[in-house]
Structures are given as structure tokens and as C-alpha cells.
Amino acid sequence: MIKRILILCTLLLISAYLVLAVTAFNGKPDNRICKGMELVVKDSVNFGFVTPAEVKALLKAKKLSPEGKPLNSINVRRLEETLDKHPFISDAECYLTSGGKVGIEIYQRIPLMRIMSDNGDNYYIDQEGNIMSAPGKPVHVAVATGYIDRKFAQEELHKLGNYLQADPFWSAQIEQIHVTPKLELELVPRVGDHILFLGKAGNYDEKFRKLRTFYEEALSHVGWNKYKRISIEFNNQIICTKKEK
């Protein structure tokens, strides 16, 4: 009986300690001075559209840099709202750390393609299919031109952009997509003086698999500049148009 009472008392003391610890950790921060920022940009190994230095410069320009300020005066929500307005940031999470710093985690918006439509539109679409701007920022992605409205860009070209970006070979090979008045797709490769005709959007797995085989088994032997047009519009066949001599 005494043993049970001792165990119960021990459990109660541990529970009380945990409650006090959690309350102290989550309570209102004291007047300690912020020692700086712990800043992480997600996926920065593959994409460098946002840098820690750029984030720090942005907060400094907006007079929101937390370093040197009392922790209880820092509005982390306001920091998030400011960072979320950056064209290359999809989401920012800010919080106070137990070490007296402000933690900031940045999730980048990844541009897939630049749209330069005949109707005068000039913008980027990102991996989520959203429209984004990139003022003064060089972005090396494929360019889409021609008869493009925003619905076609956000639906059809978004799918094509994701497909190309997921494949290192095609991501490096395709530099331009042109949309014809019939909403058919023509691709301009970096290597080879020819046009790739895809026809209507869709069925990319089959079309690019067939084209990759043709590249490896045919063009590598006859030369990359033998044809002016290579059509992979139809299933189970490739139609090539030779250059005029």
C-alpha cells in the first residue's frame, strides 16, 4: 500500500513538473534581447531562388529585423505576412526559439515556365500552377510563346512543365514551347536544328518515351540536324520531315 502511494506521489510530481515546464516554455517571452535568426531555406540544394541573405535584407529594409530587439516585442505573424509577399516564397513559418532567437523556415515557389503570350501576357507559372512574377530576377526555365490564355497556361502548360522538370534530360533539352492557334504544341530543343511537334497537350509519357528512343537509336546515327520537323503526335509512329538541300 505504501509502495503504491509513493508511486502515485512520484507520478503526480512528474506531471506537475511537465505542466510547469510546458507553461514556462509556451508562456509570454521575457525581456531578453533577440540574439539573431535561425534561418532555413527549404530545398536550397536544388533551387536557389531565395537566399538567407536576401531574407535578412528584406526584413532589414522593412525595419522588421528581429536581432537586438526584446523578444516580447517581436511579432512573428507580421514577419510571416511580410515574407509571404515575396514572389519566390510560397510559405514562411516564424517562431521564437528557446535559445532566444527567431526561427524562420522558408518554402520556395519553384517557377516551371515563363509565359510570353501573343496577347501581351508575361509571367511565370510555378509548380502548383499559380501565376507569379519575377521582377529583376533571372530565371532559367523554358519559355512558352504563342496563343496562350491563363487557363491553358495553368492547366495544360503546368502539366507539361512539371513533366519536363521531373526528367533531367528533357528539362535540359527543351528551351521553348510554342502554342499554335489550334492549341497544338511545338517544342524547340537546345540540341538539334529541328522542331518537335507534339500535337494536342497530354499523353506525355508515351510521346517522350518514343522520342527518347528515336533520339538514341536514330538521330545519334544520322545526325541531329538531318530533319527540320519531327512529329510524335500519333501513337506508334514518328513522322520526320527532311531539310531541303
Tens digit of each residue's pLDDT (9 = 90 or more) over 216-239: 888 777 777 788 899 999 887 888
CB 195 within 8 A of CB 224: no
Q: What is the three-state SS of the chain?
A: CHHHHHHHHHHHHHHHHHHHHHHHHHCCCCCCECCCEEEEECCCCCCCCCCHHHHHHHHHHCCCCCCCCEHHHCCHHHHHHHHHCCCCEEEEEEEECCCCCEEEEEEECCEEEEEEECCCCEEEEECCCCEECCCCCCCCCEEEEECCCHHHHHHHHHHHHHHHHHCHHHHHHEEEEEECCCCEEEEEECCCCCEEEEEECCCHHHHHHHHHHHHHHHHHHHCCCCEEEEECCCCCCCEEEECCC
Residues 6+ apart with CB under 8 A from 158: 112, 113, 125, 129
Q: What pTM did the predictor assign? A: 0.73
Dihedral sign for Cα atoms in the order 144, 242, 245, 191: positive
| Residue 174 falls in which region: left (phi positive, over 0), alpha (psi -120 to 50) or beta | beta
> Domain 111-242: which CATH class?
alpha beta
- Pick the most confident of 24-33, 150-159, 186-195, 204-213: 150-159
Domain boundaries, the chain: 37-108, 111-242
Report pLDDT for 135. 67
CB 52 within 8 A of CB 108: no
pLDDT at 9 over 60: no
Determine how many CB atoms are found less than 10 A away from the CB of residue 157. 22
Residue range 188-202: average pLDDT?
A: 91
Which percentage of the chain shows pLDDT scores above 90?
A: 60
pLDDT at 2 over 70: no
Determine how many CB atoms are found less than 10 A away from the CB of residue 184. 16
Residue range 166-191: average pLDDT?
A: 94
Report pLDDT for 10. 63
Report pLDDT for 48. 79
